Structure 1
Amino acid sequence: MAQVIEYLAEHPVVAVAATAAALGTTAMMFGGQQPVKPPFSLSQQSVELPGPEHVHVSPLCDYKNGQHVVDEPCYAEVPTCYETLLHGMKVSGDGPCLGWRTSSEAPFQWMSYSQVQAHSLSLGSALMERGCTPSNSTNIGIFSQNRPEWVIMDRACIAFSMVAVALYDTLGNEACEHIIGITQMSIIFIDKAAKLKILLGILNESSTVKLIVLMDGPIPDEMKMDFEKREIEIILYQDLMEIGNNNPHEPKPPSKDDTCSICFTSGTTGIPKGAIMTHNNFMTDIKGLEMFSEGICWMDEHDTHLSYLPLAHQYERLVLYCLMQQGARIGFFQGDIKKLLDDVQALKPTVFPSVPRLLNRIYDKVLTSVNSGSWIKRALFNFAFNKKKAEVESGIIRNNSMWDKLIFNKIQALLGGNVRWIITGSAPLSTDVIMFLRVAFGCVVSEGYGQTECTACATLTAPGDASAGHVGAPIPSCMIKLADVPDMNYFAENNKGEVCFKGPILFKGYLKQPEKTKEAIDEDGWLHSGDVGEWLPNGTLKIIDRKKHIFKLSQGEYVAPERLESVYTQLPLVAQAFIFGDSLKSCLVAIIVPDEEELKKYASKNNLSGSFKELCKLKGVKAAILNQIVTHGKEAGLKGFELTKDIHIHDELFSAENGLLTPTFKNKRATIADYFKDQITEMYRPL
Structure 2
Amino acid sequence: MVNKINLEKQTYEVPNSRKPGQTGIYRNGQRPELLETFSPKVKTVYDIFTHGYHTSKDRPCLGRRSVNAAGQFGPYVWETYREVNQHILNFGSGLMNLINHTLNDPRTRGIPIGMWAVNRPEWFITDMACASQSLFTVALYDTLGPDAVEYVVNHSELEIVVCSGDHIADLLKIREKLPKLRAIISLDSFDDGAKVTPGSVSKGAIIKAWAEEKNVLLTDMATLELNGKKNRRSINLPQPDDLACLMYTSGTTGNPKGAMLTHRNFVSAVAGSYYNLDGNVNDVSISFLPLAHIFGKVTDTLAIAYGSRIGYFAGDMNTLVEDIQELKPTFMAAVPRLLNRVYAKIAASTINAPGLVGSLARRGVAAKLENLANQKGFTHPVWDRLLFNKVKQALGGNMRVMVTGSAPIGKDIMQFLRIALCCDIREGYGATETTAATACHYEGEYQAGHLGAPFPSNEVMLVDVPEMNYLSTDPQPRGEICVRGPNVFKGYFKEEEKTREAIDEEGWFHTGDIGVINERGCLVIIDRKKNIFKLAQGEYIAPEKIENVYAKDSLVAQVFVHGDSLQSSLVAIVVPDPETLPAFVAAKSPKLAKSKLSYEELCKSPEVAQLVLAQLTSVGKKAGLHGFELAKAIYLSSEQFTMDNDLLTPTFKVKRPQAKKFFEVQIDALYEAINNQPEKAKL
**How does the TM-score come out when normalised to structure 2?**
0.90
Measure, in 2, the Cα distance between the counterparts of 1:371 and 1:607.
25
Aligned to 2:464: 484
Aligned to 1:412: 392
Conserved 8 A contact 1:348-1:415: yes
Conserved 8 A contact 2:130-2:137: yes
Using the TM superposition, give the Cα deviation of residue 205 of structure 1 relative to its aligned residue in structure 2, in angstroms: 5.6
Give the AA of the match of 1:448. G
Aligned to 2:38: 74
Give the AA of the match of 2:611. A
Using the TM superposition, give the Cα deviation of residue 229 of structure 1 relative to its aligned residue in structure 2, in angstroms: 2.3
Conserved 8 A contact 1:553-1:584: yes
Query: What SS is found at the alignment partner of 1:277?
Result: strand
Work out whether 1:46 is the aligned partner of 2:11: yes
| Cα-to-partner distance string for 1:120-142 (whole Å, 9 max, x where unaligned) | 11111111111156655200001
Measure, in 1, the Cα distance between the counterparts of 2:31 and 2:84.
38
Measure, in 1, the Cα distance between the counterparts of 2:115 and 2:342.
32
Measure, in 2, the Cα distance between the counterparts of 1:62 and 1:338.
40
**CA distance 1:400–1:161, change in 2 (3 Å):** farther
Using the TM superposition, give the Cα deviation of residue 509 of structure 1 relative to its aligned residue in structure 2, in angstroms: 0.8
**CA distance 1:375–1:235, change in 2 (3 Å):** same
Work out whether 1:203 is the aligned partner of 2:175: yes
Measure, in 2, the Cα distance between the counterparts of 1:406 and 1:677.
52
Query: What SS is found at the alignment partner of 2:579?
Result: helix
Structure 1 unaligned runs (5+)? 1-36, 64-68
1:682 to 652, 669, 674: 669
**CA distance 1:364–1:684, change in 2 (3 Å):** same
Aligned to 2:483: 501
**CA distance 1:598–1:235, change in 2 (3 Å):** same
Structure 2 unaligned runs (5+)? 101-105, 192-202, 676-683
Measure, in 1, the Cα distance between the counterparts of 2:606 and 2:354.
32
Conserved 8 A contact 2:480-2:513: yes
Conserved 8 A contact 2:368-2:378: no
Work out whether 1:159 is the aligned partner of 2:143: no
| Cα-to-partner distance string for 1:584-639 (whole Å, 9 max, x where unaligned) | 11111111112112234456651133433233212222222112112222222222
Measure, in 2, the Cα distance between the counterparts of 1:196 and 1:558.
47
Work out whether 1:377 is the aligned partner of 2:354: no
Work out whether 1:257 is the aligned partner of 2:248: no
Using the TM superposition, give the Cα deviation of residue 184 of structure 1 relative to its aligned residue in structure 2, in angstroms: 1.6
Aligned to 1:247: 231
Q: Mapping of 1:437-586 within 5 angstroms?
A: 437-494=417-474, 495-586=477-568
Using the TM superposition, give the Cα deviation of residue 292 of structure 1 relative to its aligned residue in structure 2, in angstroms: 3.2
Aligned to 2:681: none
Work out whether 1:57 is the aligned partner of 2:26: yes
Work out whether 1:148 is the aligned partner of 2:121: yes
Aligned to 2:76: 108
Conserved 8 A contact 2:334-2:403: yes
Query: What SS is found at the alignment partner of 1:446?
Result: strand
| Cα-to-partner distance string for 1:481-531 (whole Å, 9 max, x where unaligned) | 111111111112221110001111111111111111101001221100000
Measure, in 2, the Cα distance between the counterparts of 1:134 and 1:318.
28
| Cα-to-partner distance string for 1:34-60 (whole Å, 9 max, x where unaligned) | xxx994322221122323142333354
Identity within the alignment, % = 40
Conserved 8 A contact 1:141-1:189: yes
Give the AA of the match of 1:289. S
Using the TM superposition, give the Cα deviation of residue 334 of structure 1 relative to its aligned residue in structure 2, in angstroms: 0.5
Measure, in 2, the Cα distance between the counterparts of 1:674 and 1:240.
46
Give the AA of the match of 1:142. M
Give the AA of the match of 2:179. S
Which deviates further from its counterpart, 96-105 or 574-583? Answer: 96-105
Aligned to 2:103: none
Conserved 8 A contact 1:603-1:609: no
Conserved 8 A contact 1:39-1:463: no
Measure, in 2, the Cα distance between the counterparts of 1:603 and 1:222.
55
Conserved 8 A contact 1:609-1:615: no
Give the AA of the match of 2:174. I
Conserved 8 A contact 1:285-1:457: yes
**CA distance 1:434–1:598, change in 2 (3 Å):** closer
Measure, in 1, the Cα distance between the counterparts of 2:431 and 2:596.
45
Measure, in 2, the Cα distance between the counterparts of 1:464 and 1:329.
24
Aligned to 1:119: 87
Give the AA of the match of 1:45. Q
Aligned to 2:341: 361
**CA distance 1:305–1:206, change in 2 (3 Å):** closer
**CA distance 1:331–1:251, change in 2 (3 Å):** same
Measure, in 2, the Cα distance between the counterparts of 1:553 and 1:436.
37
Conserved 8 A contact 2:4-2:30: no
Query: What SS is found at the alignment partner of 2:514?
Result: strand
Using the TM superposition, give the Cα deviation of residue 223 of structure 1 relative to its aligned residue in structure 2, in angstroms: 3.9
Query: What SS is found at the alignment partner of 1:597?
Result: coil
Q: Mapping of 1:661-680 within 5 angstroms?
A: 661-680=648-667
Measure, in 1, the Cα distance between the counterparts of 2:58 and 2:66.
24
Measure, in 1, the Cα distance between the counterparts of 2:509 and 2:449.
24
Conserved 8 A contact 2:109-2:133: no
Aligned to 2:49: 85
Work out whether 1:224 is the aligned partner of 2:208: yes
Conserved 8 A contact 1:128-1:134: no
Measure, in 2, the Cα distance between the counterparts of 1:588 and 1:398.
40
Conserved 8 A contact 2:172-2:214: no
**CA distance 1:611–1:123, change in 2 (3 Å):** same
Aligned to 1:299: 279
Using the TM superposition, give the Cα deviation of residue 400 of structure 1 relative to its aligned residue in structure 2, in angstroms: 6.3
Give the AA of the match of 2:117. S
Q: Mapping of 1:574-613 within 5 angstroms?
A: 574-602=556-584, 606-613=593-600
**How does the TM-score come out when normalised to structure 1?**
0.89
| Cα-to-partner distance string for 1:93-123 (whole Å, 9 max, x where unaligned) | 4210000014564110111111111111111
Conserved 8 A contact 1:262-1:277: yes
**CA distance 1:375–1:78, change in 2 (3 Å):** same
The number of aligned residues is: 641
**CA distance 1:179–1:635, change in 2 (3 Å):** same
| Cα-to-partner distance string for 1:230-258 (whole Å, 9 max, x where unaligned) | 20122233223222222211111222222
**CA distance 1:603–1:628, change in 2 (3 Å):** closer
2:312 to 313, 332, 338: 332
